[in-house]
Structures are given as structure tokens and as C-alpha cells.
Structure 1
């Protein structure tokens, strides 16, 4: 071997862009939980069926629609009491909403991965091997067993929310059970929903075909419903065929501007500090100074409109105003951005994130809010100087201000995360559902 070859190789390695050292491994089939075609098909019907909501008027697809990148295209949704989809959703004069949903509806891409550690903006549902169920949730020891995955366990909670799917107070048998704290057990809200589904012959037949225990005579439980929905979400919106994925697999280079953006993303801009791995999230929690708007994530007896984020789960002061790092998969299709949807423009949000303290000082409203006049001003927390000061004080990430040219390059890189196959979905929206109820299209 020539004596200078090792030295030349070392110089070449040092000269490589920073992103070459931190580029994540590509996703493979081994990263995802397998599901049968029959289970996925059953989950598709359940996902789009409003039978799961208290008043039979909202499905999972109402707020997680492929038309809006598996979210709903607005900052804060109108759930129960709303009519229509996305930005066109509006109050039902015969059943007015009580308030907006307090947090932005997240996208559903790649939630079927095996290494899924937490869900919701505050991570209040987490994988926890020390728990009998395998999960830590707000129900603590009342949490039932039978969930196949964390994604499955997550689906149990929107159906319990009066503002999301359950309905309010005495509107139906589900909302009554929620109101009185009857969530689990034979008379609990979940089993009442399961009984509704089991009473539909087509569902009973499909569940019996998919799950052998039900075929053998066991009753359908809500855990079975949530397992099927999780199988569908995992299959339908798996995202690993974007230009980014071809780049990770060494199949094709990124376009020059996107490659410059990748160098910044994985280098001096510091984006990959939190947006790491093949999903571009560390699945952790960070206070990034994102503005607060809407009713806030508070208890019903509280009068403020704050959202303290992760601290509500951990009670640790250092978790104040910290929220889960979102995946950036298909991020160009999932506006608005932030836990409360404070930004409708991705480039503006990228600039904000690069220097959140300065961004918070300069923030002007750019949210997308469905027509609705809430009892409390949507912008009360945003316009409260003491709340802005507290949000800013919680920021721990160093600032990396971007030039316009750098922001343009990073935007080109983010565009390479767009996966048309995943955005369109694989099975799509069914023509009908077994309940016969209307489908949001």
C-alpha cells in the first residue's frame, strides 16, 4: 500500500459534509409491525365509520383526512358540534361546539413503527415495560390490557373526549358514561362503543374472521377495534418512498439545493439535534417557544388559556412548555404547524424555530381557524405579556438564525421528504361503511 494513502483517506473523510456522518439509516420492513390484509381492511372501515363517536357524526377521518395530509388543515379543530371538513368546517347551529380542540391535529405517517415511544403533543401515552399493559397513560392502573401497540392504545382516548368524539354531557350513552367516569368495565364508554359495533352483523363477521378468539365466541372489545384501526393506519400511511428515502438508500442523490439544505439541516443549522433518525424526530420533548392560542389545555375548572405541555405529565419544572418533537415526514403537506397551529406557513415556522426567542417577539397571527366565536378570545394567551415571558424563559435550545438563502435550501430539503404514495394512501376512503352512516370525503 502506498504510504500516503491512509493520510489521503483521512483528509477525504474529514472533508465530507457533516450530514454524511449523521445521515440516518433507511426504513425497512423490519421497522414496522406486520398486519394481515384482512385486519387492515377491517381497520379501514372502522377508521372511516362515525359509529365510534357518541353522536354518530364524527369518524377518525374527520380530523385525520388525506385531503389535509392526514390532519385537518386547521390550527385548532372543531370536533363535536362541527359540520364539514378542514378549513370549511363550521358550527352546527343545532348543536354548537363548546370550544375548539385545544391542540393541533397531528399527522399519521409512520405511526406503525416498532420503535414508537410516545404519542400526543405532551406524550401522555408512552411505552412503559414496567406497567402490566406495557403503556403509561392518564388512566394509570385502570388502563385495560389487550392493545397490540402504542398506536392502538392511543386510539382509545379521542373517543372519550367530549369535544372530539364523545359528545357533551347527556347527549348520548357514551358521553353519559364519560361524564360519570365510567370508562372501563362492562358499563364503561369503551365497551358501549364495542357493543354498538358488535351489533352490526357485517362487523361481527369480519372481526370473527380476523381474530380467532372472537371467531371462537369471545365478545368484541374496544381493544379489538383499536387494534384493527392501528393496523390500517400503519399500512395506509407508511411513508418511506420519498426522494429522501432514495437518498438514504443510496439510490439517487438529492437535487443540489436540497443537498445544501441537508448539509445545513445535519450541520450548522442544528435541526438534527431534535429532528433525528429516519422519522426525523428524537421522540423527546423540547420547549421551542411556540405561541399559544385557543382555549388552552387546561382542566375544566381552570380559567386560564395556557398550555404547559409536558410538565402536565411529568410534574418536572424543566418540562414546562415542552412538546413532543414532531416527525417531519410529509411536513410540506401538514400545515398548520406547532402544538396549537400557530403557523400556517412552513418557511416562517422554520425561521421561527431557528431563533425562537426572536421569533416569539416578532410573531404575528397566521393561524387557520374555522369560523366560530368562542366564549374566550382565541388570542388571549398570545397577547398576555406574562405568558409570552414564561414561554420564552423555558426555551433551552441555542439560536441558529438563518439567512434567506439558508432557509430556501432547508425548504428544498424538507420538500424532499414529501412522499406522494403515502399522502394519497393505499386503500383510500371506502365507498360505504357497515353502519351505513355518511363518510367524510
Structure 2
């Protein structure tokens, strides 16, 4: 008799007496939810959990006393399906694991006893008490909850590691052109700002500000000033500058805080974007399409009406400005020949279009800021020593009790959906033409659906420790702050202080910076839209989550493929 069979028949068989009845669609097209390490799959009702290698199992049963059985390899134990109803018994599952050979002398209890019917009640896996038949077939499944030591997260809950296959392939020569353009003011209306002024590598590919200072400002990062005289900034950028990490991923299908750019064939060009049917064809990725819009945004790079021909063209129609910028580039003595050399389809500089410029920018951003070598990535790839004790504890919380992975899901750590968190409101807002005052309704401005009010896209988390401040408007300067807000948004809003916003002093904008917070009706609407259930975590658990966030920082973030050009002027 094999070891697995021995445990299954003699140990587990006597304790898997209490089952819960779950419903499975007749077509088996949907998985039944799982409880911890116990996974119930369509047509297969069995309890699975893993005992790590080099671990001593303590039976704790009368038959064997306190015998400890060591395992040289990881052991998967599966309990067979039974047919008892959840109300038929209050049987307990008693199971313990002693310390590992290399562990501390003090025994670590990895698995706690729990009432099966309490598990079923918590997850609403109940029998149909009314005697009604459910659609499809019913299977009986065991309920087992493992209260694991924080260093272990269920392997089934962790995403697969990111690999080269998860990213779009880009041309290195085109990326080199993109690097030059990213740091060159030639793409701005007044030739006074670059992409790097709001997305600088020294600030995690952001700008270190809650709300950025765009066209007209001077300097980079938190020290950027708003300019003076006729050229001074007229408005703060209404949302926080997001990081640029892993934007070349194949699975990415929406961008911007409100998702106003996404993969779609609604307009016949592959994208649903603010340019609608006027978006040029030939863009090779979602990232290339994204690169076009800051160039024609008034307060970001285009400039104010009357200042240059680019912003004038934008006010005629959004796509009218891009040919002007393309002409600037192709008539440049350096850029023209470089584009001919980098793009096979171009024979002369006169053929360079905004599509080639956008594709070059996308190639640079995708290759420069691909990040797949964090300690967490190493752990996912099989290096169990890559995370220390605190980081593993934070990982277990992230994928377990704290339920962070409900939204920060998958290999990219984002479900790419929209959620209303009720962040403290300030700044000019991203107003629509019919909004009576400055506010930001988030996704609803794009979808026109009331259920999307004040909802914003779930951000990806690679290198998140480098990209402060946090939130769609940068409301929190620390990871601890944004985590605490997630735990209880209403209480966090009440405790939030204005000085927490990273806003350089701009005297002529100060009157409107916090005016929205004085509108009681708008604040009430925002709070009622919050879609977060409050949760309690201890200070120690929050610190462990923060430690795990730091474990998402890539080892090579300070040694990118291209770097900052030596002639870049902040």
C-alpha cells in the first residue's frame, strides 16, 4: 500500500464525514469556487492539500499517539468524495504538522481544526433547504480550510511567472528611436516638455507628484515648478501619472485610469479610443495607441489655444494635430534617415508618419521598462528562498485573508477592471462638458453607466514601491496609507489630511485645489458608490503586506536597456 493510500484510507477517511453540496452547471462550463487549498472542480469532488517537502507530519490520533512521520518530498493528499449532507454531522477534522527539520524548535501549527458546516456557511455552499432542484448536476465536495502559517500560500492561488512569451516582440532599432523621442521636446506643441517630464525613471517612471505639472512647468519630479508669466501652467494634470512597467504585455487590453483606451474593433481600427474612427491605422499595439494621446492633450503636451499650430489643430479635430508632429520629426536631419533605417516599409523620410513615431515610442517603453526579475518573480519560478519570512507572510495575506488578489489578479496583478474605492477628492477633476463643477466620475465618463460612477482601473503592481504617491489622484504618499484606505475607505477619507497630497504650491490654482471636498452632496455620492467591504488587519499584518509590495521590485530597475540620454535637459 502506497503512502498516499495509507493516509487517505486510515487517517483522512475517518474524518471526511461532513460534506457540502455544491451546484455545478450541467454544461460544466464554470468552475465551482474553492475553499483555501481545497479545490472542487467540475465532475471531480476531492479535497486536495499539500504537505511541503522536509516536513514532519504529526498525526495527533489515538492510534498512533504523537508519532511524527518525515517526508522527503512534497506530498499531495486527496480525500475521496462522500455523499453525506452538511447537516448530518458536526465532525471535526483534526490534523497537525510538526516543525520542519530546518525550522525552529518550537512546533509550528500549520493546519487548524475547523467545523465543516461553518466553512459551508461562510462560503454559502449550503444544501438547498427548500428541497428545490438546482439546474445542472450536483456533486458532493469536502470542505477543508487550512489556516496556514504565513510563509505558505496555496500554490493554486499564485499566478504563473511572467516569461518572454507574455510580451509583444518589439524591434530594438525602433526602440532606440523611441528613446530619443521620449526625451525630446519635439513632440510637444510648444517644444517645452517631453514624455520623461511626467514619466521619469528616477521616480519609478512617474513624477513623484499627486497631480502632475504639465506643459509650461520646469524641472522634473517633486521639485518641478509651475513656470511664470504667460507660459505658466493653467491647470494641474487631473490624475496621477501612472508607472510604465510591463505595458508591452500581450494580455493587456485597456489603459488609462478610466479605461478610455481598449482593444476593440468598434471603429474598425482595432481600438476603442477618444479618437474613435479617426485613430490612424497601422499601430502595432495598445501601447502605441496610448502614446498618441498625451501629445494632443492641452495641459499635458499640446499647449494652450493660440500658442502653437498643434493645439489649434486639436481643436479642429483630434487627428489633425498628429501630421504636424510627424512633419517635425521626418524633416529633422537626424530623425528622418534614422526612421528609414529602422523601418523596412519606409524608403524615404517623407513616408514617416505618426504611426511610425507611436510604434517607436511603444517599442522603447516596452523594452526599457519590462520588469520580470523581482524576488516575487523568482519565487514564482521556483526559488523558495527568494522571499524572506516577512515577505512570504505578506504574500499569504495578499492571496488569502486580505483578498488583494481578488482585484490584483493574474500574472500582471490586475484584473483590468474598474472599482470605486472612494479616494479623497481634490484637484481640478476630469470634467465632462456638462459637469456643473470640477469632479471626476471615473469610468462612468467613458461608459455612461451609473454603476461605473467613481470607479477606476486596478493598477498593476510590479515595482509599486517605486511609484508613490498612490491612487488615481495620488492621494496617499505611502504604501501603508493606500493599504489602510482599502481596509476601510470611509474611515480613511475622514482621517485624510490635505498635506498628504503631493502638490507643489501654485498660488493661482490654490483656490480650486480642495474645493470639491466642500461639496457635501458630491462627497455623499462618492461614499455611496464605494464598493469595498471593510476589513480588519493588525498593524503587523499591514507591515507584512508592505514588505510583500517591496518584494515586487525588479532587480534590474536601475540598469535599463537604454537609460537616460546624456543630452536630456530636465
Q: Which range, TM-score by smaller chain?
A: over 0.9
Distance in 2 separating the partners of 1:11 and 1:122: 40
Distance in 1 separating the partners of 2:48 and 2:245: 39
Using the TM superposition, give the Cα deviation of residue 420 of structure 1 relative to its aligned residue in structure 2, in angstroms. Answer: 3.9
Using the TM superposition, give the Cα deviation of residue 137 of structure 1 relative to its aligned residue in structure 2, in angstroms. Answer: 0.5
Q: 1:213 aligns with which of 336, 345, 349?
A: 345
Preserved CA contact (<8 Å) 2:174 2:364: yes
Where does residue 161 of structure 2 map in the other structure? Answer: 26
Where does residue 248 of structure 1 map in the other structure? Answer: 380
Where does residue 367 of structure 1 map in the other structure? Answer: 501
Using the TM superposition, give the Cα deviation of residue 381 of structure 1 relative to its aligned residue in structure 2, in angstroms. Answer: 1.6
Where does residue 238 of structure 1 map in the other structure? Answer: 370
For residue 121 of structure 1, give the secondary structure of its aligned residue in structure 2: coil
Where does residue 297 of structure 2 map in the other structure? Answer: 161
Deviates more, 1:393-402 or 1:220-229: 393-402
Using the TM superposition, give the Cα deviation of residue 424 of structure 1 relative to its aligned residue in structure 2, in angstroms. Answer: 4.5
Distance change (3 Å), C-alpha of 1:424 and 1:170: farther
Preserved CA contact (<8 Å) 1:50 1:439: no
Distance in 2 separating the partners of 1:316 and 1:423: 42
Preserved CA contact (<8 Å) 1:79 1:97: yes
Distance in 2 separating the partners of 1:293 and 1:43: 34
Using the TM superposition, give the Cα deviation of residue 377 of structure 1 relative to its aligned residue in structure 2, in angstroms. Answer: 2.1
Using the TM superposition, give the Cα deviation of residue 301 of structure 1 relative to its aligned residue in structure 2, in angstroms. Answer: 6.8
Alignment TM-score, normalising by the size of structure 2: 0.73
Where does residue 291 of structure 1 map in the other structure? Answer: 424
Deviates more, 1:153-162 or 1:247-256: 247-256
Distance in 2 separating the partners of 1:346 and 1:168: 35
Where does residue 548 of structure 2 map in the other structure? Answer: 413
Preserved CA contact (<8 Å) 1:108 1:237: yes
More helix by share: 1
More strand by share: 2
Alignment TM-score, normalising by the size of structure 1: 0.93
For each residue in 1:365-424, what CA deviation from the matched residue of structure 2 results, as whole angstroms up to 9, or x when unmatched? 201012212444211123332222111111122222221011011011111001141354
Using the TM superposition, give the Cα deviation of residue 218 of structure 1 relative to its aligned residue in structure 2, in angstroms. Answer: 5.8
Q: 1:117 aligns with which of 242, 253, 263?
A: 253
Preserved CA contact (<8 Å) 1:177 1:183: yes
* Structure with bigger gyration radius: 2
Q: 2:262 aligns with which of 126, 131, 142?
A: 126
- Aligned counterparts, 1:330-345, within 5 A: 330-345=463-478
Preserved CA contact (<8 Å) 1:70 1:423: no
Name the Cα RMSD after superposition.
Answer: 1.8
Which structure ranks higher in relative contact order (CA pairs < 8 Å, sequence separation ≥ 6)?
1
Where does residue 435 of structure 1 map in the other structure? Answer: none
Runs of 4+ in 1 over 3 A off after TM superposition: 5-19, 299-303
Distance change (3 Å), C-alpha of 1:217 and 1:158: closer
For residue 126 of structure 1, give the secondary structure of its aligned residue in structure 2: strand
Using the TM superposition, give the Cα deviation of residue 73 of structure 1 relative to its aligned residue in structure 2, in angstroms. Answer: 0.2
Preserved CA contact (<8 Å) 2:336 2:349: no
Distance in 1 separating the partners of 2:328 and 2:247: 27
- Aligned counterparts, 1:311-390, within 5 A: 311-365=444-498, 366-375=500-509, 376-390=511-525
Distance in 1 separating the partners of 2:238 and 2:274: 17
Using the TM superposition, give the Cα deviation of residue 358 of structure 1 relative to its aligned residue in structure 2, in angstroms. Answer: 2.0
Distance in 2 separating the partners of 1:240 and 1:18: 20
Where does residue 241 of structure 2 map in the other structure? Answer: 105
For each residue in 1:289-321, what CA deviation from the matched residue of structure 2 results, as whole angstroms up to 9, or x when unmatched? 111210010136745121000000111110000
Distance change (3 Å), C-alpha of 1:303 and 1:337: same
Deviates more, 1:340-349 or 1:423-432: 423-432
Where does residue 72 of structure 1 map in the other structure? Answer: 207
Using the TM superposition, give the Cα deviation of residue 136 of structure 1 relative to its aligned residue in structure 2, in angstroms. Answer: 0.1
Distance in 2 separating the partners of 1:340 and 1:357: 17
Using the TM superposition, give the Cα deviation of residue 6 of structure 1 relative to its aligned residue in structure 2, in angstroms. Answer: 4.2
Distance in 2 separating the partners of 1:53 and 1:216: 24
Preserved CA contact (<8 Å) 1:270 1:400: no
Distance in 2 separating the partners of 1:70 and 1:112: 15
Q: 2:185 aligns with which of 50, 61, 73?
A: 50
Distance in 2 separating the partners of 1:100 and 1:300: 18
Distance in 2 separating the partners of 1:111 and 1:249: 21
Deviates more, 1:388-397 or 1:152-161: 388-397
Using the TM superposition, give the Cα deviation of residue 10 of structure 1 relative to its aligned residue in structure 2, in angstroms. Answer: 4.0
Unmatched 5+ stretches in structure 1: 433-437
Distance change (3 Å), C-alpha of 1:99 and 1:216: closer
Q: 2:356 aligns with which of 210, 224, 232?
A: 224
Distance in 2 separating the partners of 1:194 and 1:47: 14
Distance in 1 separating the partners of 2:432 and 2:414: 29
Aligned residues: 431
Distance in 2 separating the partners of 1:350 and 1:261: 12
Distance in 1 separating the partners of 2:238 and 2:257: 11
Distance in 2 separating the partners of 1:92 and 1:300: 28
Preserved CA contact (<8 Å) 1:162 1:175: yes
Distance in 2 separating the partners of 1:258 and 1:385: 41
Using the TM superposition, give the Cα deviation of residue 282 of structure 1 relative to its aligned residue in structure 2, in angstroms. Answer: 0.7
